[in-house]
């Protein structure tokens, strides 16, 4: 069960007879390193990294492994897209993020919205809109009754995430 990148890497570990705990350790170290790389580029990066480790290290890095690696690649895509102004690196990192968790497609959409809607007012509008949406979902729950007749697995899986968030 999982996305193609996750299944591919776990199959490599299984081929060599490596234990699942070692697999989790390797992915966690990779994810933590990539997040550290991202956060270390900012003035208070070490402080932010320390807070991250204190607050959500166990749950995100050791339990939500696919999401953890996907977020690490998303952070690198945002870093190279906004701060280094690279053109192709964000696409490569977004590709890897989708290989580990299809839900990262939403972050790709947000990236392009932020990329083309430059300026403080548009950032503020997107932030307030996302905050209000999250608050509404928190209070009322999230229901989506959509379906897709697509033959592409990634689209079917994305609609499954929207219809059944716990899947």
What are the tens digits of pLDDT across the range 93-137?
999 999 998 888 888 888 888 777 776 677 777 778 878 877 777
How many percent of the chain have pLDDT more than 70? 86
Statement: residue 88 has pLDDT above 70: yes
**pLDDT class of 167 with cuts at 50, 70, 90:** low
Q: Diameter of the chain by CA atoms?
A: 53
Q: Is the pTM of this model over 0.85?
A: no
């Amino acid at each position: 069960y999982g996305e193609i990148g996750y299944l591919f890497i776990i199959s490599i570990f299984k081929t060599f007879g490596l234990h699942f705990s070692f697999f989790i350790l390797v992915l966690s170290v990779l994810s933590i390193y990539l997040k550290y790389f991202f956060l270390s580029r900012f003035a208070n990066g070490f402080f932010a990294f320390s807070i991250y480790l204190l607050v959500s290290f166990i749950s995100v890095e050791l339990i939500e492994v696919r999401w953890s690696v996907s977020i690490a690649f998303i952070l690198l895509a945002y870093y190279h897209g906004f701060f280094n102004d690279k053109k192709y690196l964000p696409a490569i990192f977004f590709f890897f993020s989708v290989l580990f968790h299809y839900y990262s497609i939403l972050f790709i959409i947000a990236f392009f919205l932020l990329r083309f809607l430059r300026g403080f007012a548009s950032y503020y509008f997107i932030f307030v809109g996302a905050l209000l949406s999250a608050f509404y979902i928190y209070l009322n729950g999230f229901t989506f009754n959509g379906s897709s007749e697509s033959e592409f697995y990634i689209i079917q899986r994305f609609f499954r995430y929207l219809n059944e968030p716990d899947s």
